[in-house]
Every structure is written in C-alpha cells, then in structure tokens.
Amino acid sequence: MNQQENKITILRSQDGARQLLKDFNKYFHIRDEKGFIIIIACAVAHQIPGEMLWVRIYGGSRSGKTEVLRAIAEHKDSAKMESITPASIRAGLEDGHRLLERINGKLVITKDLAVMLTAKRELRNEVFGLLRNVKDGELVSDFGTEKGYVHQQFSFDWLIGTTPVFAQYRTMEDLLGSRFIDLHWKADDREEMTLRAMENDPNLPMIRREMVEATGRLIDQCNDRLAPELDSDTKELIVHLADLTARLRSPVARDMQHRVKFSPEPEVGTSLAQNLGRIAKGLMLLGITNVVPYLLRLCLDSIPYGRIELLTELVKGEVKTTQHRNWFDLDDLRLIGVCDKKGDGYVLKPNIKGIAALLAMR
C-alpha cells in the first residue's frame, strides 16, 4: 500500500469513527467522546499482537457503556463471559468444555462485573487469585491424582463493564495486582438519557442490531490494515506515562497508626506501557492523529483520585505537611519515588516534573 492509499484509508477510518458515534447518538445520549473512542480503539487493538489487554470501564448503571460493549460483543472475534468459577478456569482432567479454550484468542466482553462481585467471598477470592496467573498467559492445575495435572496456555483481551461500587472490592486489587487499565465512563444529562431510553424501548432489538452491524463494519475496516508503528516521541511519552502511572497506583501498606508495614516496591510500568502502546496503535487505526489526550485520560483514570489531587499540588510547588491533616498520603508519594522530603514539606523529583505537569494539568 503506497502512502497516498494509506492516507485515504486513515481518513475513511476517522470518518467511520465519527459516524459510529453519531449512529449511537441517534438513539442513545453519549457525550463522552474520548471514552467512546477509547473503547472502540481497544476493540480494534485486539488484532494487534501484544500482551493481553485488560480494561475496566467504570460507569453508572444505564449510562450507555453497556450498549457499546454489547455491540462489540457480537463481533466474530469477540466472546461473552459474565460468570466465572474456579472450576471453569482450572478445567478438569477429562475432555470437555473449558472456559479458557473457548475464549482463547478472543476479545472477551463482560458487560457487568456484578455477577463475580456478588459471589461468596471465598469463591470470589479464589477466582481473583487464579486470574492473577491467567493474566500471565499460563495456568497449571494440579489435581493430586495419578492422572497428574492440566497445563493451559492462552491469550485473550478483556473489556469489563462495572459500576463505581467496584472500588470497594479491594480484594481484587490485592490478589490481581495492577493488571488492568481503568476508564471512567462519563455521563451527563440524566433526564435526556432517561427520555431516550423510554423512546427506544419498543424498538431496542432493531436498534441493537443496527449498532452491532455499524460497529462490526468499522472494526473490520480497521482490521484490514497493517498495524501502524509508533514514532520515537510517542514511545518516549508512553514510557514516562507508564512509569509515573505505575508508581502512582502502587499501594503503600500502613497499620492503624499509619506506620509503614514494609518498604514498598512500586509497580514497574512494563505491562502498562505495552498496553498503552497497543491502544495508541488502535487509535491510529481509527485515524486519530493526536493520541496523547486519550493516553492521558487512561492514565488519569487508572490512578487513585486522591493522588492526582496531591500531584496537582506538587506540580505547583512545595507542599507543606501542615497543609494536610493526612500527612502520610504525601509521604506515600515519597516512598514510591514521586517526591522528596524537604524540611517540613515535599517537592516533586526533578526527573518527573515535566511528565507530572502534563498528567496533572489535564
């Protein structure tokens, strides 16, 4: 494909992305343009080789995110998964249905995580513990019998829809670690959304078929192109963003008296950089020429809100401990390598000031 043909394809893809949002907005009320495009870019990125891409999409119930996921879920390269049990993950020694075989190589869509979260605690913890190994692409199940064990290898991307109540389930974070990228779906004009829902009700099957067809056409159009290469500036930006985001979402364990239990070892941004790189390529396949705002959005959504607030203050200058009742929140940033102690205050480390300013000022 020559450069002129490539340029035409990109422009058509960009028109298609805009048109797809318009198609959805004929029936629904979606004002989170960046969020919408990021979700579609993740679906497009599924065809780009790389480490497994797992994205959690937070949003209020009936806010539109489920309709987007529903449309993607019907694509031939997708698979649906709403409920998981330890047995379905481990499979068994006998031949038969195995969950990981069914979803291997697929873009897995879970429209609502509530089914997993409402399971009994012990069952939920076991599932999340198993998913930790699943994210590494390999699972060995020992059954303690003469027949031995089952060794499964697989790879699948995963888009999960959930509501903000998910944030209270810290067990998933503790057992899975930071294996997801987060996107906080933004909804506005609740009454308009409610009115659209009421008007759509008699024709929902037809509307959903139309959205499935339009979404599938755009994904297939992008899949017909070779994955673009990232330029050196974009790669450098992703490395800096991944490192700072990984640090800022790393927990620091403290006891009831706020004493540090052990010296924290911040997450390294390797997996995050790989995933951001794939999403950036997906955005480029959609014709997005400036991927930076979309990458910043994902990083901001993946960092605890309180730490973003502290980062914003630190970007402006030294922050005194007397300005914060919870001084240990500032000290946590020191422990994960974001800032230094200076007298009775804290200042950003010089080597991250630039990327911190870019992230905090969005």
Greater model confidence, 188 or 54: 54
In this structure, are 239 and 219 located in the same domain? no
Q: Beta-strand (E) ranges in 118-195?
A: 138-145, 148-153, 157-162, 181-184
Question: If you count them, how many residues does the chain have?
Answer: 362
Q: Give the pLDDT band (50/70/90) at residue 296.
A: very high
pLDDT at 172: 58
| Residue 10: CATH number of its domain | 3.40.50
Higher pLDDT, 103 or 168: 103
The mean pLDDT value for 108-113 works out to 88
Q: Mutual orientation of helices 327-335 and 305-316 as an angle, nearest 10°?
A: 80
Same domain, yes or no: 293 and 244? yes
Q: Are residues 120 and 218 in the same domain?
A: yes
Instruction: Decide if 103 contacts 81 (C-beta within 8 A).
Output: yes
Query: Where do the DSSP E strands lie in 87-165?
Result: 107-110, 138-145, 148-153, 157-162
On whether both 256 and 209 belong to a single domain, the answer is: no
Task: Among 28-37, 80-89, 108-117, 314-323, name the most confident range.
Answer: 28-37
pLDDT computed for residue 143 by the predictor: 58
In a domain, 194, yes or no: yes
R_g (Cα) of the chain, nearest Å: 22
Are residue 244 and residue 327 in the same domain, yes or no?
yes
115: which 2 tokens?
């089914």
Residue 245 and residue 134 in one domain? no
What is the structure's pLDDT at 123? 78
Q: Same domain for 212 and 137?
A: yes
Total-model pTM: 0.89
- Which residue from 107, 24, 20 is spatially nearest to 63, judged by alpha carbons? 24
Same domain, 219 and 238: no
Distance CA 299, CA 313 (A): 18
What range does the domain containing 265 cover? Answer: 234-360
Distance CA 62, CA 58 (A): 12
User: Among 171, 195, 223, which residue terminates a domain?
Assistant: 223
Q: Are residues 330 and 267 in the same domain?
A: yes
**Are residues 202 and 272 both part of a single domain?**
no
Same domain, 63 and 183: yes
Q: Do 61 and 140 fall within a single domain?
A: yes
As for how many domains the chain has, the answer is 2
User: Which of 223, 248, 281 corresponds to the end of one domain?
Assistant: 223
**Whether the predicted pLDDT of 51 surpasses 80:** yes
